[in-house]
Amino acid sequence: MSGNGTTAGDDPLQTAVWRLRSRGCWGDAAALLLPATPAAALQRAALLVERCLYTEEGWEEAEDALRTAEALAHSDDERGAAACERGYLAYAATLLAVRDRADEARAALGRAAALIPPGVPQRALLDFRRGLLAENLTSAPQAARAAYRRAHAGATAHADPLLLSFTWRHLAGLALREGELAEARHGFAESLRIREELGYLVGTAPALVSLADTETEPEASRLREEARRLYRLLGGVPTWLARRLSPAPPAATA
């Protein structure tokens, strides 16, 4: 989820991977990576795990890639990063009602927390995912907020704008739930701004819909229509966004 692949110093391979990933082409992006090193195997697994969350498909391929990454991991950092992806895959399966793997998600993220020390870049992503578990699987919004804030601080410190777009979004979601409309609008707007600047198309439609939830008409309808356009452009990804996009009104005829 973290890393944007768009900076001038990136190599052509990472730039190509990012461009495919940002357009929802996770399989094509993963195909560019040979799982010959721990880093490449982990990145490939992360792409395929992310595809599961956005498309609700590809679970077996993600499992296979993750097992490869786990087998190649030797250092604590590598094992911790693989455990973080394992927890995220189990979280996605539970959230999308594919299979209840909540206990596996908690155990894997707990193992990652024991291996990834505070202050390193990977810790911010881990904190964010622990916040997701707290919010969506445990229904513990206060714990989720604390985890998101740690992730937000880490993403800021390590200049990870894509992760920042997620922490802004989820902190805003908690604020909206509590009726803090101005705070929610600000957070959703920041998330959308970052995603548009990065060219993260696959995450832009959800950001538009969330911001629309805090706006009045006609701005809310304009944002939702833009989200529909992007959703169709990307072939109906993320799949779960369909539940938030009501059908557009029929066009007027002459």
Q: Is pLDDT at 6 greater than 80 in this prediction?
A: no
DSSP secondary structure letter of residue 214: T
Estimate the crossing angle of helix 161-177 against helix 181-198, to 10 degrees.
Answer: 160
Predicted confidence band at 4 (pLDDT cuts at 50, 70, 90)? very low
What angle, 0 to 180 degrees and rounded to 10, lies between the N-to-C axes of helices 161-177 and 121-132?
Answer: 30
At 213, give phi and psi (nearest 5°).
Answer: -65, -15
For 74-106, what is each residue's pLDDT tens digit? 999 999 999 999 999 999 999 999 999 999 999
- Residue appearing with tokens 């399989």: 27
The more confidently predicted of residues 60 and 9 is 60
The residue-averaged pLDDT of 6-34 equals 90
How confident is the model over 31-41, as a mean pLDDT? 97
The mean pLDDT of 41-49, rounded to a whole number, is 98
Q: Give per-residue pLDDT as tens, 129-163.
A: 999 999 999 999 999 999 999 999 999 999 999 99
Compare 241 and 246 and report the one with higher pLDDT.
241
Name the pLDDT band for 5 (thresholds 50, 70, 90): very low
Band (56; pLDDT cuts 50, 70, 90) = very high
Task: Give mean pLDDT, residues 195-224.
Answer: 97
Q: What is the 3-state secondary structure (H, E, C) of 126-189?
A: HHHHHHHHHHHHCCCHHHHHHHHHHHHHHHHHCCCHHHHHHHHHHHHHHHHHCCCHHHHHHHHH
Q: Residue 2's pLDDT is what?
A: 47
pLDDT (average), residues 64-68: 98
Task: Cite the beta strand spans of 26-107 per DSSP E.
Answer: none
Q: What is the pLDDT of residue 254?
A: 36
Neighbouring C-alpha atoms within 13 Å toward the C-beta of 180: 11
Q: Among positive and negative, which fits the CA dihedral 223, 226, 228, 230? A: negative
Residue 9: the pLDDT is 59
Task: Determine the average pLDDT of the residues in 174-202.
Answer: 98
Q: Is the pLDDT assigned to residue 23 strictly greater than 50?
A: yes
- The pLDDT value given to residue 247: 60
Q: What is the mean pLDDT of the chain?
A: 94
* Residue 251: pLDDT over 70: no
Whole-angstrom distance, CA of residue 72 vs CA of residue 137: 30
